Every structure is written in C-alpha cells, then in structure tokens.
Amino acid sequence: MQLDPQIAEKQSIYKLLIGCVVPRPIAWVSSLSDDGIANVAPFSFFMAVCNDPPTLAFSSGRRAGSHKDTVRNIEYTQDFVVNIVDDALAEQMNLTSGEYPPEVDEFALTGLTAAPGVKVRAPRVAEAPISMECRVTQILPVGHGPHSLVLGEIVHFHIRDDLYNVSTGRIDMHRLHPVGRLAGNLYTHVHDIFEMKRPNENYVG
C-alpha cells in the first residue's frame, strides 16, 4: 500500500496518523478560564521535549474553527497542568473529552477534585498519580488548521509517594499503570513491561 498525503483526504490522513503513531501518552491538561472556570481535557499529541529546563509540548486542534477552551485558557493565564492518566481514571478522562460549552466545569462534571496549584493558577487533578505544573514558553501555530503547539516549562511536580524511588530518582513503572491512546475508541493499558539494556555501559537513562 502506498499513500500520498498530498492527494489523500484530510480525514483519511488523520486516521492513518493516529493509527501509526501508537501508543501515545495522554496529556490530561487542566486550565483556568478568565471567568475562573476550571477545565480539564485530554490531548494525545503529547511529548516531553527536553530536561533543562524540563519542558513538555502538546498539540490542540480547533473546534468549529476556533481554539478549544484549553488553549484559550492557557493564552489568558499563561499556565496549565499536565495530569497523567492511570487505569483508575480512564473513564473520567474519557468523559472530559466531550464537547462542552466553556461554562461547564469538567471537574464538577466528572466528580474529580480540583486541587490548587503551587506555582500556577491552573488547578490539578488531585486523583492523578502525577501532575506537572507548567508555565507557557511558546504557543506555535502548526499546519493549515492551524493546530496550536503549546510548549510549557515544568515548574513543579506532584508525584504520588509510592511511585517515586528516592534512591534512584525514578518513577516505578510497575506501579504507575498509565493509559495509552491508540486510534478511534481504542486505548491500551501499560501492564506488560519488559527490559532491554542498551549496548552502552555509560547509559543512565
């Protein structure tokens, strides 16, 4: 099969792309509107960018030609929180993916607890195993939509105690149980973990 993205339908390329780039981590982004209404929504175009300073990026498309609430909120406050989704929160995460008007507080809708940020105005999901408070560094338009590529510097971490190994500085992957995004209505549990050592004696990864 050979496909040329320049002549294929946009929706076909979207389906192809989200089926090829798998599994994707989910940035469950919480933000605050100029009216003080909390918002939380999932984005699976998401990645870590660099560690010095610690920086994340996620991409948001438009809805009916306009920015989604998350991007509008972030443009206003210049901060946000990325919450990590685990097995226990999958259903609530999915519920927050609905198309709701700006006045709807997804925390109230889903029964989630909005905990105050330490260094940002945006609330975090108190139930999340990991939350990363971020300040915006750039919002870049990408593509013909355009999508908004949001880059944020992590200014504070919230990590559930049992997940963090103080002696190694690592997150316990066997206890985190993150949820990954596939395509369509499909997700994946990250339970089957295996190890491969790099052929580099100095690798500390």
| Segment (H or E) for 196 | none
What number is the average pLDDT over the span 22-45? 97
Q: Is the predicted pLDDT of residue 182 greater than 70, yes or no?
A: yes
Q: Is the predicted pLDDT of residue 205 greater than 80, yes or no?
A: no
Which 8-state DSSP code applies to residue 175?
A: H
What pLDDT does 65 receive?
A: 67
Measured CA to CA, the distance from residue 154 to residue 128 in angstroms comes to 16
What pLDDT does 10 receive?
A: 87
What pLDDT does 27 receive?
A: 98
Nearest alpha-carbon partner for 141 in 202, 31, 61, 81:
61
Nearest alpha-carbon partner for 116 in 41, 32, 27:
32
For the chain, list the domains and their CATH numbers.
26-176 (2.30.110.10)
The sign of the CA dihedral 194, 198, 203, 205 is: negative
What pLDDT does 173 receive?
A: 96
Q: What is the pLDDT of residues 157-181, one digit of tens each?
A: 999 999 999 999 999 999 999 999 9
CB 120, CB 140: distance < 8 Å: no
pLDDT tier for residue 64 given thresholds of 50, 70 and 90: confident
